[in-house]
Amino acid sequence: MGLEGEATAAVHGHRLSTVVPSSVTEVEGYELGDADLAFRLHYLRGVYYYAAGEVVRGVTTKVLKDPMFPWLDAYYPVAGRVRRPADDAAPAAAEQQQQRGEASRRPYVKCNDCGVRIVEARCERALDDWLRDGAVDRVRLLCYDKVLGPELFFSPLLYVQVTNFKCGAMALGFSWAHLIGDVATATTCFNHWAKILGGKTPDAVTVNPRNEPQDRAPADAAVPRSVKPVGPIEDYWFVPAGVDMAGYSFHITEPMLTRLQQQQQQEPAAAGGAFELISALLWQTVAKIRAGKEVKTVTVVRNDMSARSGNSLANEQRVGYVEAGSPPAKTDVPELAALLAKDVVDETAAVVAFPGDVVIYGANLTFVDMEQVDLYGLEIKGQRPAHVEYGLDGVGEEGAVLVQPDADGRGRVVTAVLPKDEAEALRAALGSTLLHPAP
């Protein structure tokens, strides 16, 4: 049995329950914005690891659940379910959309307090061992593997998996439907819950239930180069990539990053920061793995915290593309980094306005900038996560790479979601040169 099989067998005993808001939600419906619907075929998977110790020993499932009731009072749409206006008996949302001349099938979230699913599981491995062996798809094993549909009205928008390790450590795994917010939204939401758990008063939450649809592009609009059209998609919100996809997470330590930066500084074309440099390295490496297949165009998704609207549930990341003039496999890493820093063509408005269903992550090889996202703010009674890693589901076969800070902010954690054979080849290519499995 390989590493992946051993990891799969080690996680078992899943038990499900539900947490709902502590009071009845007065808002009937939460309208999804155009940007929300653009990302509706994608899912965020985030895992927070906590070392064994006195704090974790005292954290029972009940301790974790109790602050979720007021948490969901604030983030009430997260406890709802997706509906289309035609599914209900003439709700107000349907009337409003008809008045605007929109199709009556536009999805929205019915705030019916159906709740968040809690999953309890066990792992027959020690945390250090789990992280050391670099098993492919370990993020997915610690996040409940569900998507929306085919029965949308029964599909939770969030699952929280609590996994207890043999050594006494714990992992919290979040499966978050991207249509209710981007990674910055998700982490802020999770951190809000953690503050309540720690006895603190979290910041006020601003939920705007009226995300007014914007003008859509005409039906014959050109497809943005950042995305791939699919569908139309009905009630099963997942598009298989056509090949088996797998996630591989690894750690770029501070010394490794310093060496990369020193190599970059020796090149006249050098530009950009750690995200651009690491993305360029992965771009070049994947292009080499795909010998004979062009990887000249890549998609870039950026989470810019300075540009947030203040709405607590939102998809406000920027989407664009970069095109290399020469084959990336034969292009120096600093030159590719300079392209990623200077030559991204922003297509956010076109992607949001596009009238059809699209795949964004994996339409091209996609690089996701999580440099500014507060990943380590989810403290359990004062204890910070020892390690955090995020992945994606619903990724197209071109793959996606997420780049985030590590625990001390000086290195980086990278998760690559690629066709399974490429994930194995990437691990071998990087392991034999600069990198090693996380953390």
Per-position pLDDT tens, the chain of length 439: 455 666 788 999 999 999 999 999 889 999 999 999 999 999 999 999 999 999 999 999 999 999 999 999 999 999 999 999 876 544 454 455 444 444 458 999 999 999 999 999 999 999 999 998 777 889 999 999 999 999 999 999 999 999 999 999 999 999 999 999 999 999 999 999 999 999 999 989 999 888 878 888 887 889 999 999 998 899 999 999 989 999 999 999 998 898 888 876 666 555 679 999 999 999 999 999 999 788 999 999 999 888 888 889 999 999 999 999 999 999 999 999 999 999 999 999 999 999 999 999 999 999 999 999 999 999 999 999 999 999 999 999 999 999 999 999 999 999 999 999 999 899 888 876 664 444 4
Please report where in the chains the tokens 């653009």 appear, as a residue: 38
Strand order in the sheet with 29-31: 29-31, 108-110, 81-83
Q: How far apart are the first and last CA of the chain?
A: 23
Q: What is the pLDDT of residue 289?
A: 96
Q: What is the pLDDT of residue 104?
A: 59
Q: What is the pLDDT of residue 413?
A: 95
Q: What is the pLDDT of residue 134?
A: 73
Pairing between strand 318-323 and 345-346? antiparallel
The answer to whether the beta carbons of residues 340 and 366 sit under 8 Å apart is no
